[in-house]
Amino acid sequence: MSQVPERGEIDTEDKWDLTSIYANDDAWEAAYESVTDRVDDLRAYEGRATESPETLLELLELREELLREVSQVVSYANLRSAEDTRNQEYQAMSAKAESLSSATQSAVSFLEPELQRLDESDVASFVEREPELAAYEHYFDDVLRTKPHTRSAEIEELLAELGEVAGASSEIFGMLSNADMAFPTVERPDGESVEITQGNFTKLQKHPDRAFRREVYEGFYDEWGDVRNTVGTSLKNSIRKDVKYARARHYETAREAALDGPNVPVEVYDTLIETVHDNLESLHRHAELKREALGVDDLEMWDLYMSMTGDEGPDISYEQATEYIVDSVAPLGEAYQERVAEGLESRWVDVYENRGKRSGAFSAGTYDTQPFILMNYQDDITSMFTLAHELGHSLHSELAKDEQPWQYADYTIFVAEVASTVNETLLTHHLLETVEDDALRMHVLDEYLERFRQTLFRQTMFADFELRIHEIAEADGALTPDRFDEEYRDLKSEFYAPAELDDRIDREWMRIPHFYYNYYVYQYATGISAAVAIVERILEEGEDVASAYREALALGGSEYPIDVLDAAGVDMTTSEPIESAISVYDEYLDRMAALLSAA
């Protein structure tokens, strides 16, 4: 029987090295206590933040010092918690760290309201009198920009304190889906038993035996059906939280509030949804091509992830995947390539699934740490592409930290998803051009088409769903599991018109963690659109474009995201990048259709 191993059974070299943050849990506890004792130092500046340029600089430097320490404390605790969500000690550690983070944010929440008592001429005078404040000019601009939506110091402190409980719905969902839910064990056609998990569900949906895929699909979604009311209540309250926070800051909608944070025009969101809806025939063509390739009368929901080649695809070991990835990023320059290789050799990556481990994948870390990548590697092409994706995030962070001070090293998700998808796109080009194995090349092409489907179309569908359910809440409508089902099925039937929809797919919304992230998912779709445009130019024009792209990544948060992408040569305020990406998708569909005909 194929069982998911316990964490202690995973080889050390396949686990990330958190001792680079703290030597052990005792060292973490000491750091936690140290920064806790200093939080009140920030409060000493309340009412005095702008009494002089020198005082403001002192406060900004103290704020940086403490927030950098807090981010270390939070990062270590959260990464330990992700290793095994069943571990109550690390859950408690994570909770303590998040509480400390909220307390620290609360202690300095007076800063922005006090800064907003200044106007642009006041800020200019401060910078002239204390030149070191020039390093904060973009920050000051951003603070003054949001002046209409910043409340009094008292209310800002309250909102900051509520941050600890505001994420409760997401935390509950994570614990339920990663730790408490027990999915069934099914028998493969070869007689081996396998336990369904969040981590391996998609891989099992690629098994060539259709009856097995159906069994996995039904068992997986039946388990979700058993927690329907819990998940529905959790999502409902998460949406309500978004709406109430937006209203507290005098925004008309939660979407306006979410997009105003990174200063992304709401029209970008609308243009994405409209453009994708106008081009659904390309997605429908993909579905029909898959139906024909699989030789089935109807494309069922348990067929959607199946490769058009008709089999699961070749195994790709982690070692082979890292070799392919390192080679594929050569167009981004020797220094970028070497840094990817060094990171893979330095235990950035927690490679394999273990029991209780958080599902999915992510790249994390702080200004003062190396990147840390969580994977649940499954020895397949999809896992290889996911690793390339997360390494894009990690290298983005490294480049930004190299060039920016702490206050600008972080960057918005809007830009982040470009860096990750550029790596995926380069990997595809590399494998299609260099691998001689025709079967592997066909699987690579199929994988890239699937990533287009899932990143551009599926994430836009998610974005549309998220908009709809927020609008229901904003109109004081009832958000029930039945209503979620109804809205989700309506979109699913439009996006996947050539396929057969069963009742279980109505509850797919239940398993998507990103619906708790407040208008997050649309950035995957805008990200792939920008990434495709950038890669096409790099491959055509070479180092000049690659250099501009690296420089854009190195901007971090020192400019607004629309301007960062403009520096990389992409205008995301128009539909052109989205239409261009869909055009590339169509070209790859043509290529796949030709390969299938010749097979």
Report how far residue 2's alpha carbon sits from residue 195's, in angstroms, rounded to the nearest whole number: 7
Residue 2 confidence class, pLDDT cut points 50, 70, 90 = low
Q: What is the CA radius of gyration of the chain?
A: 24
Average pLDDT over residues 110-115: 94
DSSP three-state, residue 145: helix
pLDDT above 70 covers what percent of the chain?
100
Q: What is the residue-wise DSSP string for 413-471?
A: HHHHHHHHHHHHHHHHHHHHHH---HHHHHHHHHHHHHHHIIIIIIHHHHHHHHHHHHH
Q: Per-residue pLDDT averaged across 184-195, rounded?
A: 94
Average pLDDT, the chain: 94
CB burial of residue 40 (10 Å; 0-12, 13-18, 19+): exposed
pLDDT at 338 over 80: yes
Share of the chain above pLDDT 90, in %: 88
Average pLDDT over residues 445-473: 96
Alpha-carbon distance of 90 to 81, in angstroms, equals 5
CA distances from 397 to 80, 337, 348, 351, 364 (A): 21, 15, 13, 20, 9
pLDDT of 189 > 90? The answer is yes
Whether 461 and 493 have beta carbons less than 8 Å apart is answered as no
Collapsed DSSP state (helix, strand, coil) of residue 245: helix
Residue 1 has pLDDT above 50, yes or no: no
**Closest C-alpha to 423, from 344, 556, 532, 522:** 532
Sequence-separated (6 or more) residues with CB below 8 Å from residue 286 = 449, 453, 585, 589
Q: Side-chain half-sphere of 256: how many Cα atoms within 13 Å?
A: 14
Residue 430 has pLDDT above 90, yes or no: yes
pLDDT tens digit sequence for 202-260: 889 999 999 999 999 999 999 999 999 999 999 999 999 999 999 999 999 999 999 99
Angle (nearest 5°) at CA 237 between 234 and 241: 140
Instruction: Give 17-73 pLDDT, tens digit per residue.
Output: 999 999 999 999 999 999 999 999 999 999 999 999 999 999 999 999 999 999 999
pLDDT(535) > 80:
yes
Q: CA-to-CA distance for 413 and 419, rounded, in angstroms?
A: 10
Catalytic residues: 390
CB of 413 within 8 A of CB of 121? no
Mean pLDDT score, 142-155: 89
Residue ranges covered by each domain of the chain: 9-163
Full-model pTM: 0.85
Helix (H) and strand (E) counts for the chain?
Answer: 27, 5
Q: Which of 275, 282, 285 is nearest to 498 (CA)?
A: 285
Q: What share of the chain is helix, strand, coil (3-state, %, to 5)?
A: 70, 5, 25
Q: In this structure, which topology does domain 9-163 adopt according to CATH?
A: Butyryl-CoA Dehydrogenase, subunit A; domain 3 (1.20.140)
Range with the poorest average pLDDT among 310-319, 410-419, 548-557:
310-319
First to last CA, the chain: 35
**φ, ψ of residue 349 in degrees (nearest 5):** -105, 130
Residue 151: pLDDT band (50, 70, 90) is confident
